[in-house]
Amino acid sequence: MRRAEHIPIYAQVAHDMAAKIAAGELGEGVRFTGRSLMGSQYGVSQETIRRALGLLADVGVVTIRQNVGAEVASRSRAAEYVEQSKADSDLLALRTRLRELIAQRDRLNGEITDTFQRVMDLEERFRSSDRLRTYEFALDPQSPAVGRNLQDLQFRQRTGATVVALRRGEEARLSPGPDAALEAGDVLVVACNAGDIERVSRLLREECREEATS
């Protein structure tokens, strides 16, 4: 017998027994051989078998007589019970799936709200940033920045700008760390306001090419 989730074991046993009766494997009037034998057949306790038989007796599939045992009462009732059990199982599965979908929807709504807020925050930041753009600054061999790193230069503190990339030859390094050593010929891609360009130029002793890259 295949065990289903969320359905009590005794109900699963009752369904299996009713299915056998509905299929004609157990004819009307057939007496069960005993709870202990049935318990070993299904691998469950005698109490589980007792509850399964009680459930079938309540719907008229079997009759239980004291000191006699249980016998098949109605094949048609068994078929009705199997059909109803299937409908109940399908309904349970649909309810479970509905709960899963609702949980997914709630998670998605949370992500949408969070992403929307981040978009709004970024838009507000750019609106108040005096047209923040990116500019390129090439390091001349005589630049005092050559051989030093961004932390030594106190680049952010002295210019108010942010280095978003460092190009060296054919290679580009995004978001270089403060310990990135600068070399002659390096091109710094800097995000800054128009008013910060002069400060960056003075720090690097290099004329800004003033061609925005974005």
Domain CATH code at residue 75: 1.10.10.10
This model's pTM is above 0.85? no
Does residue 172 sit within a domain?
A: yes
Q: 179: domain range?
A: 133-204
Higher pLDDT, 74 or 93: 74
Measured CA to CA in angstroms, residue 154 lies from 160, 179, 203 at distances of: 10, 11, 10
* Number of domains forming the structure of the chain: 2
The residue length of the chain stands at 214
pLDDT for the residue numbered 168:
92
pLDDT for the residue numbered 153:
92
| Strand order, beta sheet including 133-138 | 133-138, 187-192, 162-168, 171-174
Does residue 118 sit within a domain?
A: no
Domain CATH code at residue 177: 3.30.70.1450
Does residue 171 sit within a domain?
A: yes
pLDDT for the residue numbered 129:
52
Please indicate, yes or no, whether residues 80 and 22 belong to a single structural domain of this protein. Answer: yes
pLDDT for the residue numbered 104:
92
Does residue 30 sit within a domain?
A: yes
Work out the mean pLDDT of the chain and round it to a whole number: 83
Say if residue 199 is exposed, middle or buried (CB neighbours under 10 Å; 0-12, 13-18, 19+): middle
Does residue 211 sit within a domain?
A: no
Please indicate, yes or no, whether residues 76 and 138 belong to a single structural domain of this protein. Answer: no
10 Å Cβ neighbour count for 56?
Answer: 26
Please indicate, yes or no, whether residues 141 and 197 belong to a single structural domain of this protein. Answer: yes
CA distance 176 to 164: 7
3-state class (DSSP) for residue 2: coil
- What is the per-residue pLDDT across 105-133, written as a single tens digit (0 to 9) for each? 999 988 888 888 877 777 666 555 555 68
